[in-house]
Structure 1
Amino acid sequence: MKDDISWFLIGLLTAGLIAAAVGDWRNRIIPNELNGAIALLALPFWWANGLLLWPDAALQVAVASLTLMVFCVPFRFGWMGGGDVKLLGALALWLPWGATLYLVAIMSLAGGVLTLVMALAHHLSKSVGKPEIPYGIAIAFAGLWLIGERFLNQFV
């Protein structure tokens, strides 16, 4: 029963990440309501996976808080939007700390490719100003990559 709930919640997380990527592409905004829903859905996910309040859930909150604090720096310099930072923090609530590091690595690589493509398109279109990079796409890609590993690595 708890396993079914866990998979259902992972499905909701998947839908939320796709919605974040699509919304960020279209509007360059990831709504607070979506980030809040992703964060709050981590709570029943913890229960379905048997996490204890102490130390397991406390560690999840600590890693998510640290992730938020670290990515406030790129936000401060205008390299990431606030919705991107909140999405990272919300997603970190779902992941063990090691997977959060993996998330950041995949996100950084995907974000670098995305930035190069967007900068090239901006340059070729002879647009004025800096291109706005929908970094939520890179975050969602990294999150979906990690979700996919649950399916792909279950046989190893």
Structure 2
Amino acid sequence: MAITLVIGLLLLLAAWRDVVARIIPDLLVLPIAILGIAGRLSLGWGALLEAALAALLLFVILLACAMRGWLGGGDVKLAAALAIGLPPAATWNFVVATTLAGGLLALGYLNGPRLAPRLAPAGAAHPLGRILAVEAWRLRRGGPLPYGVAIAAGGLVTLLALREG
């Protein structure tokens, strides 16, 4: 349970960093992978090998997407790091949950320029106001999605489902 909590907090931090800077630092991704490996290894070498193979397959598929410019490298690393700590069947659930969250994120960004209020310069002085102002600016210019948010959401949903099961 403690590992799940720490991974969940790291996912939230990764999503935050992706929104703020469009970068997912290795210092957040590496502990997720290490904790996942430790968790799978506690179930035996076979469990770790199965998870590693599923994570490798996911990494290769996402790397091909990144090479086409559809994802960022941090997104690929974050997804693979989380997958290495999941049972293979849960990795599929993670992919589905992330895809759904990514679709909702994309809908928000597609509709965002029409829906996002223009923030007054005074509101931009507050850190949250500044972030919202920058996101509104990115929305108006068709900037990239912070897909780390979708990956974190899919990961959190998957981790919660594993705890329930």
Does the pair score TM above 0.5? yes
Offset, 1:15: 0.7
The residue number in structure 1 matching 2:122 is: none
Aligned residue runs from structure 1 range 2-81, under 5 A: 7-47=1-41, 50-53=42-45, 55-81=46-72
Offset, 1:137: 0.5
- Aligned sequence identity (%): 33
CA RMSD for the aligned pairs?
Answer: 1.7
The residue number in structure 2 matching 1:144 is: 156
**2: distance between equivalents of 1:122 and 1:131?**
11
**1: distance between equivalents of 2:113 and 2:69?**
18
**Could you list the runs of 5+ residues in structure 2 that have no partner in the other structure?**
116-135
Question: Residue 119 of structure 1 contacts residue 131 of structure 1 at CA under 8 Å; is this kept in 2?
Answer: no
What whole-Å deviation, never above 9, does each CA across 1:6-65 have from its counterpart, x for those lacking one? x11111101111101111111111001211111111232124xx4221x22111111111
What whole-Å deviation, never above 9, does each CA across 1:52-107 have from its counterpart, x for those lacking one? 21x22111111111110011122111111100010010010111111111111111
**2: distance between equivalents of 1:105 and 1:150?**
15
Regions of 4+ moved over 3 Å: 122-126
**1: distance between equivalents of 2:113 and 2:63?**
26
Aligned residue runs from structure 1 range 102-113, under 5 A: 102-113=93-104
The number of equivalent residue pairs is: 143
Please report the TM-score for the alignment, with normalisation by the length of structure 2: 0.79
**Could you list the runs of 5+ residues in structure 1 that have no partner in the other structure?**
1-6
Which residue identity is paired with 1:70? I
**2: distance between equivalents of 1:44 and 1:56?**
11
Please report the TM-score for the alignment, with normalisation by the length of structure 1: 0.84
**Secondary structure at the counterpart of residue 45 of structure 1:** helix
**1: distance between equivalents of 2:151 and 2:11?**
8
